[in-house]
Amino acid sequence: MIPVTHATGRYAVHAEALAEAPRRLREAGLAPGLALVVTDTTVAGLYLDALADVLRADGWQPVPVVVPPGEGSKSLDTFAVVCDAALAAGADRRTPVLALGGGVVGDLGGFVAATVLRGLPLVHLPTTILAQVDSAIGGKTGVNTARGKNLVGAFYPPLFVLADPATLATLPEREVRSGLAEVVKHALLAGGDLFETLEMGWERLGDADMLAAVVREAAAVKARVVSADERESGARAFLNLGHTFGHALEAAAGYGTLTHGEAVAVGLRAALHLSASLAAGADAGGTLPHPFARMDALAARLAPPPVPDGVTDEAALAAMGLDKKRDRGGLRFVILDDLGAPRLAAGVPEALVRAAWRYARRVAG
Amino acid sequence: MIPVTHATGRYAVHAEALAEAPRRLREAGLAPGLALVVTDTTVAGLYLDALADVLRADGWQPVPVVVPPGEGSKSLDTFAVVCDAALAAGADRRTPVLALGGGVVGDLGGFVAATVLRGLPLVHLPTTILAQVDSAIGGKTGVNTARGKNLVGAFYPPLFVLADPATLATLPEREVRSGLAEVVKHALLAGGDLFETLEMGWERLGDADMLAAVVREAAAVKARVVSADERESGARAFLNLGHTFGHALEAAAGYGTLTHGEAVAVGLRAALHLSASLAAGADAGGTLPHPFARMDALAARLAPPPVPDGVTDEAALAAMGLDKKRDRGGLRFVILDDLGAPRLAAGVPEALVRAAWRYARRVAG
């Protein structure tokens, strides 16, 4: 069990079978009754029946609310539809929302839980690497708008997170690779065992136990960071490593073209190039110096697809200016002074940002 | 200054001129920049220019977001429109949302502030009695859905509330009368000076200073109750006095037919009849006994219009079952054992509920 501690409460991340969900609900003080299960059609096909069965066996009446898979469901329109489904089912203030799925389902279901009747109990049941190590931990919920990602939402901690490692076995290869981008990001931020395990054991990540161990350790990194800083006033911002570039690329390519993880994989390499440039005081060029080369070598294992030809350098750089992490003082970047040593850099020369982007684009794919 | 203290923070309710808003913003630690002013067309015509002028004089760039007046704007559709307007204007996490208007604008603008970029600073500038004594105090924000009122929202405290008594002078007669329903409700809950002032001075409420004093005292009652109980686990539920009946009537009549305050005025009389019945152990009949008669006499001063003929008793009673305050143990009612002595009654016999409703219907209008 990995504890997460916020000013607004405490919750646990359990790495165990979905079948334990009813026991955890009881432990959390909920009496069986109506339970909303927000999920998508893909995950519903794999795990909904089994989850509904164990819930019913414990006296719950599960009501599935199934949305289409993909980022398109993280919208205010789908939010309204799911809110209405929750109310139509007869939810009261003690009705839990179980978000069964990846990041989209967790963010959408979490925002519904945060707002229907001004707050229902929320349980995250993440079924992807991305969700298990990142999006289900930390209390961020929300949806996208036409103007960008995650622009409308709420901080809303779950009662608990139950991450079943067995669900990772059904992930498509592309989804595994995408999820590993956040695992690598956490390894770069934390250094230590996680980084070395990935560096030495990358080829063995196909083994379920090995993958589960890495995912658990990456989740613990996220839990430690958000426990120290729920509202992103300090250390939590470090979790945006690679994301200023990544979000810009994702937007410029058109949402759905690259996965979030693929865009972050490119973004991490840009962030590492920028880190090396700032350490050296000049464009780091085409080969990064120590200690950035070692970190960049791990990020390279993510092997994202090439940046689409249609994404011009200017479009990607322009998209950064629209990223919500912009500040009145100009763009801020999370960089690394060393492995495990992130910091926020402000007032970065534009030439270095451009060089970092060109490097990441060249080495991707 | 009336203080409000929540687990999530502390804020003040200032009864002073709108022109003081820029000073209060600075006091709250905000540096001039973009400021969103959410309001409706009616209030915009009266106060927007003056507010924008004092903001600009202090270095702010006010961006008005003007919605149609009335309950129809408290919808997920309008919520999406206002979120988009906030983002289109270039809001960042330090951009305040100033909600200038009545309850609809406060609840809608508050929910936008709670969710855009997962939380912008919120300032309530209530311009109606209802908003100054009730909806702007206590951190509840939200919108209606087709299934009922306030079904989607968030608890989100403002930085401060600035209630300008001068704005009450421009309220239409019907709006004044509606707002006084919540004032009377607070007087019934608190007893003491407020009750006696209203009882003895009802005819002098047309005097601006008298009205301002009563409004300030009623706001203080609300502030005390919500300070003790932000999340409605205890005493805050008492604020629903008259509202189980009132919400049902409002819904059964069709939103917009009766104002919220008119429906609450009828609901208060039903709640007083129910209180008397429960005290006596039987239907209180057509004339209430001591001490309920005195309270009922004050509530009668609100003189709401008759319940529309189209609202059948069965429709009104059925609408109660859909009220979100329902509990797994059946409908709960806030009743009064005496002036200033509310409590929650559960398992109330249906016959007494029916008798209370028939009484309120008969004496209304």
Average pLDDT estimate for B278-294: 93
Average pLDDT estimate for B70-98: 96
Chain B residues close to A148, C-beta within 8 Å: 87
Compute the distance between CA of residue A154 and CA of residue B182 in angstroms, rounded to an integer: 30
pLDDT recorded at residue B311: 94
A160 has pLDDT over 60: yes
Q: Is A155's CB within 8 Å of B94's CB?
A: no
Chain A residues close to B33, C-beta within 8 Å: 328
Residue in chain B nearest A78 by alpha carbon:
B76
pLDDT in tens, A1-40: 788 887 667 899 999 999 999 999 999 999 999 999 999 9
Nearest to A218 by CA among A205, A203, A232, A230: A205
pLDDT recorded at residue A288: 95
Q: Which residues of A are catalytic?
A: 118, 140, 182, 222, 232, 236, 240, 243, 247, 260
B325 has pLDDT over 50: no
Sheet holding A2-6, edge to edge: A2-6, A9-14, A160-162, A122-126, A97-101, A34-40, A61-67
Average pLDDT estimate for A341-353: 91
A152 and chain B: CB distance < 8 Å anywhere?
yes
Query: Is B247 in the active site?
Result: yes
Average pLDDT estimate for A163-183: 96
pLDDT recorded at residue A325: 46
Nearest to A147 among B87, B146, B151 (CB): B87
Compute the distance between CA of residue B76 and CA of residue B221 in angstroms, rounded to an integer: 31
Nearest to A62 by CA among A1, A12, A125: A125
Q: How confident is residue A289, by pLDDT bands cut at 50, 70 and 90?
A: very high
B232 has pLDDT over 80: no
pLDDT in tens, B113-151: 999 999 999 999 999 999 999 999 999 999 999 988 899
Mean pLDDT over each residue of chain B, to the nearest integer: 93
Question: How many beta-carbon contacts under 8 Å exist across A and B?
Answer: 83
Average pLDDT estimate for B152-163: 97
The conformational region for residue A335 under phi > 0 = left, psi -120 to 50 = alpha, else beta, is beta
Compute the distance between CA of residue B266 and CA of residue B277 in angstroms, rounded to an integer: 17
Q: How confident is residue B234, by pLDDT bands cut at 50, 70 and 90?
A: confident
Q: How confident is residue B326, by pLDDT bands cut at 50, 70 and 90?
A: very low
Nearest to B147 among A87, A152, A154 (CB): A87
| Mutation target vs B (from A34, A84, A115; most B CBs, 10 A cutoff) | A115
Crossing angle of helices A313-321 and A243-253, in 10° steps, is 120
Report strand pairing: B341-346 vs B332-338. antiparallel
DSSP B200-266: HHGGGTTSHHHHHHHHHHHHHHHHHHHHH-TTSSSGGGGGGTTHHHHHHHHHHH-TTSS-HHHHHHH
Average pLDDT estimate for A328-349: 87
Nearest to A231 by CA among B36, B124, B93, B152: B93
Catalytic residue among B177, B185, B243, B269: B243
* ipTM for this prediction: 0.91
Catalytic residue among B24, B177, B185, B222: B222
| Mutation target vs B (from A94, A97, A118, A140; most B CBs, 10 A cutoff) | A118
Q: Is B147's CB within 8 Å of A327's CB?
A: no
pLDDT recorded at residue A330: 59
Residue in chain A nearest B111 by alpha carbon:
A115
B48 has pLDDT over 80: yes
Chain B residues close to A82, C-beta within 8 Å: none
A148 and chain B: CB distance < 8 Å anywhere?
yes
Chain B residues close to A117, C-beta within 8 Å: 151, 324
Query: Is B350 in the active site?
Result: no
Q: Is B142's CB within 8 Å of A114's CB?
A: no
CA distance B130 to chain A (A): 21
pLDDT recorded at residue A8: 64
Q: Is A87's CB within 8 Å of B114's CB?
A: no
The dihedral formed by the CA atoms of A297, A299, A301 and A304, expressed in degrees to the nearest 10: -130
Compute the distance between CA of residue B183 and CA of residue B203 in angstroms, rounded to an integer: 15
Chain A residues close to B116, C-beta within 8 Å: 151-152
Contact B189, B225 (CB under 8 A): yes
Q: Is A83's CB within 8 Å of B154's CB?
A: no
pLDDT recorded at residue A323: 44
Q: Which stretch of A177-181, A286-290, B101-105, B317-321 has the lowest confidence by average pLDDT?
A: B317-321
Q: How confident is residue B228, by pLDDT bands cut at 50, 70 and 90?
A: confident
Residue B151 backbone dihedrals phi, psi, to 5 degrees? -85, -15
Query: Is B140 in the active site?
Result: yes
Q: Is B154's CB within 8 Å of A119's CB?
A: yes
B63 has pLDDT over 80: yes
Which regions of A250-340 does DSSP assign to beta strands (E)? 332-338
pLDDT in tens, A29-74: 999 999 999 999 999 999 999 999 999 999 999 999 999 999 899 9
| A327's tokens | 């500040």
Residue A236 backbone dihedrals phi, psi, to 5 degrees? -60, -30
Q: Is A87's CB within 8 Å of B326's CB?
A: no
A328 has pLDDT over 70: no
Chain B residues close to A61, C-beta within 8 Å: none
Compute the distance between CA of residue A49 and CA of residue A151 in angstroms, rounded to an integer: 33
Chain A residues close to B84, C-beta within 8 Å: 145-147
Residue B31 backbone dihedrals phi, psi, to 5 degrees? -90, 135
pLDDT recorded at residue A19: 98
Q: Which stretch of A186-200, A234-248, A265-279, B80-94 has the lowest confidence by average pLDDT?
A: A234-248
Tally of CB atoms within 10 A around B64: 18
Is the previous residue joined to A291 through a cis bond, with omega within 30 degrees of 0?
Answer: yes
A170 has pLDDT over 70: yes
pLDDT recorded at residue B230: 67
pLDDT in tens, A87-138: 999 999 999 999 999 999 999 999 999 999 999 999 999 999 999 999 999 9
